[in-house]
Amino acid sequence: MFDRTFFNTRDLACKSPYGAVCSGTTVSFHLYPLRRHGFSRGVMTARFEFDVSRSVELPVVWTATDRGVDTFSVTLDVGDYVGLVWYSFRMEGLNGQYKELGEYQLTVYDPTDQVPDWFGKGVCYQIFPDRFNRTKIPNPAGMVGGREVHRNWGDMPRWRPNAQGEVRNRDFFGGDLQGVIQKLDYIASLGVETIYFCPIFEAAENHRYGTADYDRIDPMLGTNEDFAQMCQEAHKRGIRIILDGVFNHTGFVSKYFNGDGFYPNLGASQSKDSPYYDWFCFKHWPDQYESWWGIYSLPAVNEGCKSYRDFIFDGENSVIRKWLRAGADGWRLDVADELPDEFVRGIHTAAREEKSDAIVIGEVWEDGSNKVAYGKRRRHLLGHHLDGLMNYPFRSALIDFLLGENGDRFMERMETLRENYPPFAFYSAMNALGTHDTLRILTYLGTGTTRGEWAKHARAHYEMTDQERALGWQRLKLGLSVLFTFPGSPTVYYGDEAGMTGYEDPFNRKTYPWGNEDQEILAFFRKLGGLRKLCRPLREGDLMWGDCARGYISYVRSEGDVSVAVAVNAGADEAEISLPWNHRNAWDWEGGAWQRAKNGKLYLTIPPMSYRILLSERESE
């Protein structure tokens, strides 16, 4: 059980240092029972999950009393251990009474992994390549997959199943890398410093998550030379490139599996003598094999196969190394939970060896510090594995807050992450309100529902009412004020800044509406992107919470002698909010006026469904 009046893991008076610690740290604990409770001694039990032989019991001893409150203390030396420690307390009195607290999580990480800090500072822009921008209508003749190309850029993506009940995702719009190059200035105008691409390697499906050839840019997107040119042009504008690495499975239609015989070489489904046969796990060759979530078109690979590991990361000319040399700056690992820890570590090692400031981000939908997948606790954030994660817990918490959950619940959920994550992971999180795997955020906030009970054709053709769109935009402004000011990289899914709408895949993957953007929404994204790019506390500052309750939240980001205060009221009533403020005045970023602080605090009155951002210096306007 947990009793934070007795012991609070987030109070430095109770536990120091705060949150996760690096190996070699001695952690101090202090408990504060009331004197009248009569506790005379205690025991701390700590079990080291990744070292089953190590479990300790330490005496918790009385050290002081003050104004009717006792202090009991104990220290824990974690030594050279790296992993999770689960600890608890049992306090006992002379009369036989006792109190148990815990278990609590202590994350111990490897400090020798020097994580590059560039990713979490700036804005990230996610592109679904087929739908972003095209320079021509491509001819699909001779390309893998038997593709259909939409001549009309504004068509609805195909979503109805064929006669076999399959949605094959073989309809393409022809977005290409030259189209991205054309729009780099536009992307830069949003304050973007990183582009994260969904897969760009040759593949039969428009989403390209069933890779057909890891060594080749999909010809509809362009050439390997186009990729190098794009990276060069992006770098000129201060923009880095992160690629999507899909290494848990390949495509049924691929040079490795070659399920339809498209490629001239022998694939694993064609011959047991294929050099790729050992990459796959056949239950009955060639027609029964392990696949991702049972989807036959995505055969799963055996990540323990040496030749596969050599190909992906161990070899001198491996996939990881090749594309970093070509100009990429990092990798996002698809379904990271489904990759063995040692495989992820191998990718991480190869990436850092090839480019010392390369970053590796993982797709994990939950708290990545204690994630269990396939019966095994993952080492995602312990160092030398993943540098950060797609922060879906942030997305869930923020949307819940915008749709009516109490502000203190948002704070609680975020503090759990901050407490469990090493600092590098908390500040390198990929924070987003929408991705290619979620419905469009304007639709979600405007309708307040996924419409999961509707038939798919109803979701396909649903148009938001004017009232729903206005409500969605009102809520989105509040959400963006948090997204762009919170620790971690604010990540924008292409088209959200243009006011795109739609429910789930493929309705969230429509083409970018060039020339038909919602200019009000676009201007707001640009304004916040500019603030994030120029304002040092938002890029790397500490986080301190102000008042969080009912329908509002507030916090302060500080770096050195510069601070930013953020207050958001998503409720229906006016909110009176106070925040810690170590400055005499605060400049209202949008209101354009100074506000005086009193006794080390800012006192703000925030109208319903509104926000305020205040700066300690005007230089960050």
Catalytic residues: 334, 363
Look-up of token digits 């992820």: 344
DSSP letters along 231-287, please? HHHHHHTT-EEEEEE--SB--SSSTTT-TT--SSSPPTTT-TTSTTGGGB-EEETTT
Q: Alpha carbon of 96 to those of 6, 37, 313, 585: distances in Å? A: 19, 12, 59, 55
Give the distance between the most distant pair of CA atoms in the chain: 85
Q: Name the token pair of 8.
A: 């609070």
* Distance of alpha carbon 139 from alpha carbon 146, whole angstroms: 11
What distance in Å separates the CA atoms of residue 126 and residue 101, rounded to the nearest whole number?
A: 43
**Cβ neighbour number for residue 24 with a 10 Å cutoff:** 13
Residues 6+ apart with CB under 8 A from 117: 424, 427, 428, 540
Alpha carbon distance 386, 389 (integer Å): 7
Are 31 and 3 in contact by the 8 Å Cβ rule? The answer is no
Residues 505 and 175: their CA atoms lie apart, in Å, by 17
The Cα–Cα gap between 579 and 574 comes to 16
The rounded distance, in Å, linking the Cα atoms of 305 and 601 is: 59
323: its two tokens = 């594309």
Phi-psi region of 46 (alpha: psi -120 to 50; beta: other; left: phi over 0): beta
